[in-house]
Structure 1
């Protein structure tokens, strides 16, 4: 039996924090695409909600152009310095049964499923629905630690009382009575043959194949019956992270063991991931991050600057970026340059304990924390353009984006700036402007010609292409475009 949340939640009423991958002191900018005395901050937002002191505001600026984004990505140091993240937070007051989220999985039907210590949760972006045992027939337990979707679209739910399978709306429980090695389920994975492996904490492994359960323990060569992590790589190897027994590779019915003697940072392994380049990463207890190399495992933790050496989660997003979740140091993005590895911390999470990381179909990262509820991390790149980057004056009064991505930036005393990518060119009274104080800019085409209107001075300008303006900010207040292209006050 399920119970819907008493507090439906949406993006318009959820807490949003601003975070930086580079600076631990970043806060919500007072303006986004709004002129300031320090130049102009350009950002990419899409009706992002922010609630300070219970009041909701909608930010609608969209001034990061594809050309500028490309230039940021070409310059790695500039991109790293410019990256910002918006963090949305959901807690128990928003409908979660409690604030520790141990597992996250988005199923192919679009629902986001969460594993908490007080039940299974389904989230549709608006409302949380909580499923609890024993009120939900077939749910093995309330302490949900693992969620896994198999190739058939079935959701496997690992709990402290066994494993449940959600298949076409029906829950089926597999516990010790059905042959499961141990009721406490800690990891789940599916191999290339369609067998589902269940790791238990104290009972070793159970394999579901053709309706039968087979158990594997230390008697079969497993280094420990305390299973922490499972992962199947592209070659068909099953990798098993254990508590105190290192990493096991299972292939052709045999276990091969890797421990700290083989370079593993620690013999307790919390998480395992093979990335899109075929490299195997492990997160360990108190040993940080490791990676499998031709001669064994390499300890990558030295010099990384991890605030906490317990790595609970490793995730690769659709852009092939790797993320780490730690046991107290929060969330990090892995940055690789050649053979060197460094970490970019993401500030602004509701809690520094990160149990789970999962990317959704829209590119957001969902982060389960230990006491801080559910966090959604969305990238919002920023760049600051000032006189150092070629802007004619740092007192910016208006911004207009052309259809080709060119930014037209009016200043208070420096005339008009045309910015493409990371470079700007100034147009002043020397170029025919009636004044170097520019308070509004409009673009468009009429009568077969392209035109630029600076304040009330309409003239033809050759570089202007495409359709009318997208957004204008005038004297720090947003001006939005009507459907027919005419600007209006919001």
Structure 2
């Protein structure tokens, strides 16, 4: 678009005086729209399509709608927010010159360039991707990660750095002009003192600018031309100089001007006349962007739509073209106007019309028919004839007019349609004749001669014999507002619900999301596009694509939307009239608005088909932004993932449409739709690749997909190690159950063994000893009987009988113990009973009695009885002392005698003797400590200590 900037800028001043003014569209962004600062020092478009801006308050990235700021506060790579310049290095890399070194942006990551320090004054890119860096300490070259110094001959110190279109650079040291390519420096000659900006163009010429003038010199530095600021250039001070399509752009403190090579005149860019222009760039879609000193960022582009001089502000209601090329314009308040070929607009009807409110206009030869709320006017030269209901019209409110091929005038009213021949009403057709409604809207005659009549309740056609209704796929009647046959004969219908097309005898809807409400006009151009006038403004789409959408639930055809920013005087639909669009014979399209007439040249409205860039800007999990990386981790608790992306078409960013696909989750691509985000909820664990594409307003799809991988982490209960842990726990649980079972079996076996041992001890301590005693008594009795001592034998028998009774009692007690029956007697009482039966034995109980569990008291009692029995039977003691002591924390049992004593170690090891061993086992069973002290001839002391606190 801006390849012809020299010519366009020169013509911009005179264009405003023409009938159709194709003015420039200007848009401005400042800090109020998110710009870090209104002083924009440098502009650069990156490979992905973003526009980058350098300011004294950091770097900004612009996607056409929003600014993203990068400063030392959110990017540690920036040690200074004062950024002077930007240069594109190798593909995908940008370098930013700051007041404290250079920062590189590679693969979305900012990193400081090591080896470059100090204040950066300028950056210039070379054709091989290297960048020359001019700092306050000298000249260096950055290539990838490598930084090397560039030495100037003779120790010269560089003061300025300029661009050259041959891929090299120009350096200035004092007045010496140098050519720099890589690290090679060559001297070219001498320039005048005071040069601040310079560049070399494709002709080999050198442009050198001081603060007050600009000079053009040839390759030998011979002066060719000089422009003076304030005389030949706007303003009083030159601010910037850079290559421009067709020439150079000169930025001054009062705007900018384009100088074509070897041309004397400078073309000022009028919209920038009030501020200093510091930087400029033409993006890949052909739009120009300008950075100013205090007014922020500007975009300047040719408007796609012109307007008609003299009709600005008029509410236009109807348009028609005469056979002589004259254009007739009906208005809501100012009657009928004529637009002459030379562009003047005048009230051309000298005689008064029936009304200044024009509803419809039609031409037939030298006649002009005008419909109004007061009837129908026939204008021929200066003569005006009125036709009203008194003359046969069904109603005076004439909404639409059609001059048929046979010269018959069709006049649509609120009470039917009238056919006029030679200015007289010949016939009237109403609902009684087959019209769906008496309220008539648009009317049209196609190439075959069929007349189509739109009504408030549907569409009918007149084949010369009868009215035939057109079937519709709406389910109910619909108002017809516009009719148009395109170049291929297709009938397009604007209805109160949008756009429709006649297909195979039926009226099918074209469900365009961009169309809101009623479609008031439809036209086509010679490039295969359909132009649709609706409440959303003016829309352009491919007619073939729209035909392919007929009858489908959603139409995804690319739609270009035009509004006030594109030059339309207004987007509101006229409140009256049905004939609000017209195609002139020169190919231009005219559309009525409430503020004048919009004129479209279809050829000029078509911009270069440039594929938009596409980038993913952020990922949020449950409303919280996460670090944007090739793989984004989504925690197990993340329920909602929102991905924001931008289609990088700076000319029409709001009209970019998107489709996306989440592999392993979505079955297919989404439909093309506006908006810049996608949301997913409750994603299952796993890896998912998100892909998004952008389609420009011209229908061009981005060349590559923007992608990001989502790694959705499984919850704890679905992690592999969790399953391994469950397996280990199950194995541990099974082993635990096995161990518990084994321990129970062992405990049961130990209990049985303990019970067997206890029974063995019981038998040893009671029955065995009693049987031994009985046996001894019987032997004594036998000896006495043999000796004839009957009386003594009788006493022995009585003693034996007593021993048997005691043995029986002991056996019963053992049986009770086996049956776990607790004794009704306390431990001291039971000990007293045992001691009482023994000879020469005494019992002493000390302390306050406290009851112990039956099992413990029983074991203590058995130990005491065993010790007492041993003292009686084996020690032959003359005195036995039994002490039972209840202290605060323990119970002490002591059985001592003055008998024969024995060797404790030898007695414990002696086979067939279980007394001491049994007592120890009983003590261990209740957690007590048993001590046996004895020696031959010194008596025996058995002591048991049980701690119970």
Same topology, TM > 0.5: yes
Q: In the alignment, which residue of structure 2 is the partner of 1:336?
A: 543
Describe the SS at the equivalent of 2:467.
strand
Going from structure 1 to structure 2, the CA distance change for 1:31 and 1:240 (only over 3 Å counts) comes to farther
Is the strand fraction higher in 1 or 2? 1
State the shift of 1:210 in Å: 4.4
In structure 2, C-alpha distance between the alignment counterparts of 1:265 and 1:31, rounded to whole Å: 59
Q: State how many pairs are aligned.
A: 322
State the shift of 1:353 in Å: 2.5
Give every structure 1 segment of 4 or more consecutive aligned residues whose post-TM-superposition deviation is greater than 6 Å: 48-51
Q: In the alignment, which residue of structure 2 is the partner of 1:137?
A: 351
Q: In the alignment, which residue of structure 1 is the partner of 2:318?
A: 103
Going from structure 1 to structure 2, the CA distance change for 1:138 and 1:308 (only over 3 Å counts) comes to same
How do 1:110-129 and structure 2 match up within 5 A? 110-118=325-333, 119-124=335-340, 125-129=342-346
Q: In the alignment, which residue of structure 2 is the partner of 1:6?
A: none
Give the gaps of 5 or more residues in structure 2. 1-15, 27-62, 66-242, 250-266, 275-300, 550-556, 575-579, 614-949
1:325 to 2:533 alignment: yes
Q: In the alignment, which residue of structure 2 is the partner of 1:284?
A: 495
- Structure 1 residue corresponding to 2:458, chosen from 237, 246, 250: 246
State the shift of 1:329 in Å: 0.5
How do 1:367-378 and structure 2 match up within 5 A? 367-369=591-593, 371-378=594-601
How do 1:18-417 and structure 2 match up within 5 A? 18=25, 52=271, 86-90=304-308, 95-96=310-311, 99-118=314-333, 119-124=335-340, 125-130=342-347, 136-137=350-351, 139-150=353-364, 152-200=365-413, 202-213=414-425, 214-243=427-456, 245-258=457-470, 260=472, 262-263=473-474, 267-285=478-496, 287-301=497-511, 304-319=512-527, 321-326=529-534, 328-337=535-544, 339-340=547-548, 342=557, 343-347=559-563, 348=566, 349-355=568-574, 356-369=580-593, 371-378=594-601, 379-380=603-604, 381-383=606-608
In structure 2, C-alpha distance between the alignment counterparts of 1:384 and 1:290, rounded to whole Å: 28
Contact 2:313 2:595 in 1 (8 A): no
Going from structure 1 to structure 2, the CA distance change for 1:307 and 1:292 (only over 3 Å counts) comes to closer
Contact 2:24 2:302 in 1 (8 A): no
In structure 1, C-alpha distance between the alignment counterparts of 2:352 and 2:487, rounded to whole Å: 36
Contact 1:360 1:366 in 2 (8 A): yes
Q: In the alignment, which residue of structure 2 is the partner of 1:10?
A: 17
In structure 2, C-alpha distance between the alignment counterparts of 1:293 and 1:257, rounded to whole Å: 14
Describe the SS at the equivalent of 1:108.
coil
Contact 1:291 1:299 in 2 (8 A): yes
Going from structure 1 to structure 2, the CA distance change for 1:337 and 1:210 (only over 3 Å counts) comes to closer
Going from structure 1 to structure 2, the CA distance change for 1:236 and 1:110 (only over 3 Å counts) comes to closer
Going from structure 1 to structure 2, the CA distance change for 1:138 and 1:50 (only over 3 Å counts) comes to farther
Contact 1:17 1:87 in 2 (8 A): no
Describe the SS at the equivalent of 1:291.
strand
Contact 1:17 1:50 in 2 (8 A): no
Contact 2:19 2:343 in 1 (8 A): no
Is the helix fraction higher in 1 or 2? 2
Deviations 1:92-115 (A, max 9, x none): xx6438521111123222322111
In structure 2, C-alpha distance between the alignment counterparts of 1:17 and 1:267, rounded to whole Å: 40
Describe the SS at the equivalent of 2:482.
strand
In structure 2, C-alpha distance between the alignment counterparts of 1:299 and 1:170, rounded to whole Å: 45
Q: In the alignment, which residue of structure 2 is the partner of 1:454?
A: none
In structure 2, C-alpha distance between the alignment counterparts of 1:306 and 1:221, rounded to whole Å: 34
State the shift of 1:237 in Å: 1.8
Give the gaps of 5 or more residues in structure 1. 1-8, 37-47, 56-82, 389-490
Going from structure 1 to structure 2, the CA distance change for 1:340 and 1:50 (only over 3 Å counts) comes to farther
Contact 1:264 1:298 in 2 (8 A): no
State the shift of 1:186 in Å: 1.1
State the shift of 1:130 in Å: 2.5
State the shift of 1:315 in Å: 1.5
In structure 1, C-alpha distance between the alignment counterparts of 2:270 and 2:368, rounded to whole Å: 34
Contact 1:14 1:51 in 2 (8 A): no
State the TM-score, normalizing by the size of structure 2.
Answer: 0.31
State the shift of 1:280 in Å: 1.1
Going from structure 1 to structure 2, the CA distance change for 1:84 and 1:15 (only over 3 Å counts) comes to closer
With 250-259 and 230-239 compared, the bigger mean Cα shift is at 250-259
Contact 1:241 1:268 in 2 (8 A): yes
Going from structure 1 to structure 2, the CA distance change for 1:307 and 1:275 (only over 3 Å counts) comes to closer
In structure 1, C-alpha distance between the alignment counterparts of 2:402 and 2:609, rounded to whole Å: 45
In structure 2, C-alpha distance between the alignment counterparts of 1:329 and 1:139, rounded to whole Å: 33
Contact 2:471 2:506 in 1 (8 A): no
Going from structure 1 to structure 2, the CA distance change for 1:220 and 1:346 (only over 3 Å counts) comes to same
Contact 2:523 2:532 in 1 (8 A): yes
* Cα RMSD for the two superposed structures: 3.9
In structure 1, C-alpha distance between the alignment counterparts of 2:19 and 2:272, rounded to whole Å: 14
In structure 2, C-alpha distance between the alignment counterparts of 1:296 and 1:346, rounded to whole Å: 30
State the shift of 1:337 in Å: 4.1
Going from structure 1 to structure 2, the CA distance change for 1:110 and 1:166 (only over 3 Å counts) comes to same
Contact 2:23 2:303 in 1 (8 A): no
Deviations 1:211-237 (A, max 9, x none): 531211112221111111111122222
